[in-house]
Structure 1
Protein backbone atom coordinates (compact mmCIF):
# COMPACT_ATOMS: atom_id res chain seq x y z
CA UNK A 1 0.00 0.00 0.00
CA UNK A 2 2.92 2.36 0.67
CA UNK A 3 4.88 3.26 -2.48
CA UNK A 4 7.80 4.47 -0.32
CA UNK A 5 8.53 0.85 0.63
CA UNK A 6 9.31 -0.10 -3.00
CA UNK A 7 12.89 0.63 -4.06
CA UNK A 8 13.60 -0.13 -7.74
CA UNK A 9 17.05 -0.45 -9.26
CA UNK A 10 20.37 -1.98 -8.28
CA UNK A 11 21.53 0.90 -6.06
CA UNK A 12 18.28 1.19 -4.15
CA UNK A 13 18.02 -2.59 -3.71
CA UNK A 14 21.57 -2.67 -2.36
CA UNK A 15 20.67 0.07 0.15
CA UNK A 16 17.57 -1.86 1.22
CA UNK A 17 19.69 -4.93 1.92
CA UNK A 18 22.38 -2.98 3.79
CA UNK A 19 20.41 -0.37 5.75
CA UNK A 20 16.73 -1.25 5.87
CA UNK A 21 14.48 -4.17 6.88
CA UNK A 22 14.09 -6.05 3.60
CA UNK A 23 11.00 -8.18 3.07
CA UNK A 24 11.62 -9.48 -0.43
CA UNK A 25 13.83 -8.89 -3.47
CA UNK A 26 12.45 -9.08 -6.99
CA UNK A 27 15.01 -9.97 -9.67
CA UNK A 28 14.72 -9.85 -13.44
CA UNK A 29 16.52 -13.06 -14.54
CA UNK A 30 17.74 -11.29 -17.68
CA UNK A 31 20.22 -9.34 -15.48
CA UNK A 32 21.28 -12.24 -13.22
CA UNK A 33 24.98 -11.91 -14.15
CA UNK A 34 25.01 -8.30 -12.90
CA UNK A 35 23.33 -9.02 -9.57
CA UNK A 36 25.77 -11.32 -7.77
CA UNK A 37 26.17 -8.92 -4.84
CA UNK A 38 22.39 -8.61 -4.47
CA UNK A 39 22.00 -12.39 -4.37
CA UNK A 40 24.84 -12.71 -1.84
CA UNK A 41 23.44 -10.04 0.49
CA UNK A 42 19.92 -11.47 0.26
CA UNK A 43 21.21 -14.96 1.03
CA UNK A 44 23.21 -13.68 4.03
CA UNK A 45 20.11 -11.95 5.45
CA UNK A 46 17.69 -14.79 4.56
CA UNK A 47 15.61 -12.51 2.35
CA UNK A 48 13.19 -14.07 -0.12
CA UNK A 49 14.22 -13.71 -3.77
CA UNK A 50 11.60 -13.91 -6.51
CA UNK A 51 12.16 -13.77 -10.24
CA UNK A 52 10.00 -11.48 -12.38
CA UNK A 53 10.92 -11.31 -16.06
CA UNK A 54 8.34 -8.57 -16.75
CA UNK A 55 10.03 -5.86 -14.66
CA UNK A 56 11.64 -2.86 -16.33
CA UNK A 57 14.34 -2.83 -13.64
CA UNK A 58 17.09 -5.37 -13.00
CA UNK A 59 15.88 -5.71 -9.42
CA UNK A 60 13.63 -4.17 -6.82
CA UNK A 61 13.86 -4.16 -3.03
CA UNK A 62 10.69 -4.35 -0.95
CA UNK A 63 10.84 -3.09 2.64
CA UNK A 64 8.91 -4.49 5.61
CA UNK A 65 6.31 -2.05 6.88
CA UNK A 66 6.77 -1.67 10.61
Structure 2
Protein backbone atom coordinates (compact mmCIF):
# COMPACT_ATOMS: atom_id res chain seq x y z
CA UNK A 1 0.00 0.00 0.00
CA UNK A 2 2.86 2.37 0.79
CA UNK A 3 4.42 1.66 -2.60
CA UNK A 4 1.20 2.79 -4.21
CA UNK A 5 1.22 6.09 -2.32
CA UNK A 6 4.91 6.59 -3.05
CA UNK A 7 4.31 6.08 -6.75
CA UNK A 8 1.40 8.54 -6.62
CA UNK A 9 3.63 11.13 -4.97
CA UNK A 10 6.27 10.61 -7.65
CA UNK A 11 3.68 11.01 -10.38
CA UNK A 12 2.40 14.17 -8.73
CA UNK A 13 5.93 15.61 -8.60
CA UNK A 14 6.44 14.84 -12.29
CA UNK A 15 3.13 16.47 -13.19
CA UNK A 16 3.98 19.58 -11.19
CA UNK A 17 7.33 19.83 -12.99
CA UNK A 18 5.63 19.41 -16.38
CA UNK A 19 3.00 22.00 -15.56
CA UNK A 20 5.71 24.42 -14.47
CA UNK A 21 7.46 23.96 -17.80
CA UNK A 22 4.16 24.30 -19.65
CA UNK A 23 3.33 27.59 -17.94
CA UNK A 24 6.68 29.00 -19.02
CA UNK A 25 5.96 27.93 -22.60
CA UNK A 26 2.49 29.47 -22.41
CA UNK A 27 3.87 32.76 -21.09
CA UNK A 28 6.39 32.90 -23.93
CA UNK A 29 3.65 32.13 -26.44
CA UNK A 30 1.46 34.90 -24.99
CA UNK A 31 4.30 37.39 -25.39
CA UNK A 32 4.68 36.29 -28.99
CA UNK A 33 0.94 36.68 -29.55
CA UNK A 34 0.99 40.20 -28.11
CA UNK A 35 3.80 41.12 -30.45
CA UNK A 36 2.05 39.51 -33.38
CA UNK A 37 -1.20 41.34 -32.51
CA UNK A 38 0.66 44.65 -32.65
CA UNK A 39 2.20 43.62 -35.95
CA UNK A 40 -1.21 42.62 -37.29
CA UNK A 41 -2.68 45.99 -36.33
CA UNK A 42 0.21 47.85 -37.98
CA UNK A 43 -0.17 45.70 -41.09
CA UNK A 44 -3.91 46.41 -41.27
CA UNK A 45 -3.30 50.15 -40.87
CA UNK A 46 -0.76 50.10 -43.70
CA UNK A 47 -3.10 48.09 -45.90
CA UNK A 48 -6.04 50.44 -45.27
CA UNK A 49 -3.87 53.51 -45.91
CA UNK A 50 -2.66 52.03 -49.21
CA UNK A 51 -6.20 51.12 -50.26
CA UNK A 52 -7.47 54.59 -49.40
CA UNK A 53 -4.66 56.31 -51.29
CA UNK A 54 -5.35 54.09 -54.31
CA UNK A 55 -9.06 54.95 -54.04
CA UNK A 56 -8.54 58.73 -53.97
CA UNK A 57 -5.64 58.76 -56.42
CA UNK A 58 -7.68 59.49 -59.55
CA UNK A 59 -10.55 61.36 -57.93
CA UNK A 60 -10.74 65.13 -57.88
CA UNK A 61 -11.13 65.95 -54.19
CA UNK A 62 -11.39 69.60 -53.20
CA UNK A 63 -11.00 71.13 -49.79
CA UNK A 64 -14.14 72.68 -48.41
* Shorter-chain TM-score tier: under 0.3
Highest relative contact order (Cα 8 Å, sep 6+), 1 or 2? Answer: 1
Higher share in helix: 2
TM-score normalised by the chain length of structure 1: 0.20
Higher share in strand: 1
Higher Cα radius of gyration: 2
